[in-house]
Amino acid sequence: MIKCALDIDDVLANSIETILKILNCKKKIDKIDEYYYLTQKYGQKFWAAFEFAWQNPHFIKLIEPESPQYILNIMKYYDINYVTKRSKFLYNATKRWLSENNFPDLPLILYDTIEEKCKNGYNVIIDDCPDIIALLKKDQKLFFFDQPWNRSICVIMKDNITRIRSLKEILNFLQEENNSQRRGVNNAV
């Protein structure tokens, strides 16, 4: 089965919005057009706010209320792991957030560097981090989750990258792919 790495921060969980509140940062999320803007501006304070948020996971809302259901449907096509960059001590808090928000119980993998995400044999990656693009292998597919900090990156000409605004678009993509394969089989017959 196709192996899929599903990111958590700002794909499932609205972490940046939560961190902006904790840091009392007045900048609107739509104006953050650089992935590293907050980590560069706040340094350790950013990570302290991140860890504080995840230790109090009721602070963190879902990006899309329907995403647990979308994942259940995507699971018919992909073998999904939640793959996220964070300190190992946040494992239980992250698990709790996923289960309290009714996400399917799937393996949770924590890693230290973005390179690890592309190296671990995933065929499909769902992520909002622009750094993935340079690390992506030709046979890996990226569903690039639209966020203000990745909007300036043009992926239209890349076959293995599809920009999505909702996880639902992955389902549309998979159903379309399935239909065209079926059409192909029928034509061959």
Looking at this protein, which amino acid is placed at residue 66? E
Of 4-12, 37-45, 94-102, 150-158, the window that binds Mg ion (rule: CB under 5 A) is 4-12
Q: Round to whole Å and give the CA distance between 5 and 141.
A: 10
Q: What is the CA radius of gyration of the chain?
A: 17
14 binds Mg ion (CB under 5 A): no
128 in contact with Mg ion (CB under 5 A) = yes
- Residue closer to Mg ion by CB (options 151, 183) is 151
Closer residue to Mg ion, CB minimum distance, 10 or 143: 10
Tell me if 7 contacts Mg ion by CB under 5 A: yes
C-alpha atoms less than 13 angstroms from C-alpha of 105 in its C-beta half-sphere: 4
Among 5, 6, 9, 46, binds Mg ion (CB under 5 A): 9
Residue whose Cβ sits closest to Mg ion = 9
164 contacts 170 by C-beta, under 8 angstroms: yes
Contact 133, 142 (CB under 8 A): yes
Q: How many Å apart are CA 121 and CA 140, to the nearest integer?
A: 9
Q: Does position 149 bind Mg ion by CB under 5 A? A: no
Minimum distance from residue 13 beta carbon to Mg ion (Å): 9
Mind spelling out the 3-state secondary structure of 140-154?
A: CEEEEECCHHHCCCC
Segment interacting with Mg ion (CB under 5 A) among 26-34, 66-74, 104-112, 121-129: 121-129
Which residue ranges make up the site for Mg ion (CB under 5 A)?
7, 9-10, 128
